[in-house]
Amino acid sequence: MNYNWDWASVGDSLPLLWEGFKTTLLATVLGTLVAAVLGLIVAMAGRAPSRLVTVPVRAVTEFVRSTPLLVQLAGAYAVFNTVEPLTIGITVLGIHYASYLSEVYRAGIDAVPKGQWEACRALSMSPRRTWQAVILPQAVRNVLPALGNYAISMFKETPFLAVITVSEMVAEAREYGATHFVYAETFTLAGLIFLAASYPTSLLMRKLEKRLGH
Partner 1 sequence: MGDFFTYFFDHLPDVWSGLGTTLAATVLGSAVALALAFVFGFMARSGSVLVRGVSRVVVEFFRGTSLYVQLFWLYYAFPLLFGYELTPLFCGVVAFGMNYGAYGSEVVRGALNAVPKAQWEAAVALNMTPAQRMRRVILPQAWVQMIPSFTNLLIQLLKCTPLLWLISAADLTTVVQQMRDRTGETTWAYLTLLVMYFVLAYVLTLLMNALERHAKARLGQHTGVRGLLRSRSAQPAEAAGTSAGGSL
For position 54 contacting partner 1 by CB under 8 A, the verdict is no
- The DSSP secondary-structure symbol of 83 reads S
- Binding segment for partner 1 (CB under 8 A), chosen from 38-46, 47-55, 97-105, 127-135, is 97-105
The span from the CA of 59 to the CA of 160, in Å, is 25
Given the rule CB under 8 A, which of 13-21, 29-37, 45-53, 152-160 is the region that contacts partner 1? 152-160
Question: Counting contacts by CB under 8 A, is residue 69 touching partner 1?
Answer: yes
CB 107 → partner 1: shortest distance, Å? 5
Residue 131 or 187: the one with the smaller Cβ distance to partner 1 is 187
Nearer to partner 1, 33 or 133 (CB): 33
For partner 1, give the closer residue by CB, 110 or 118: 110
Residues near partner 1 (CB under 8 A): 1, 3, 62-63, 65-72, 74-75, 78-79, 97, 100, 103-104, 106-107, 146, 149-150, 152-154, 156-157, 159-160, 163, 170, 174, 177, 181, 183-184, 187-188, 190-192, 194-195, 198-199, 202, 206, 209, 214
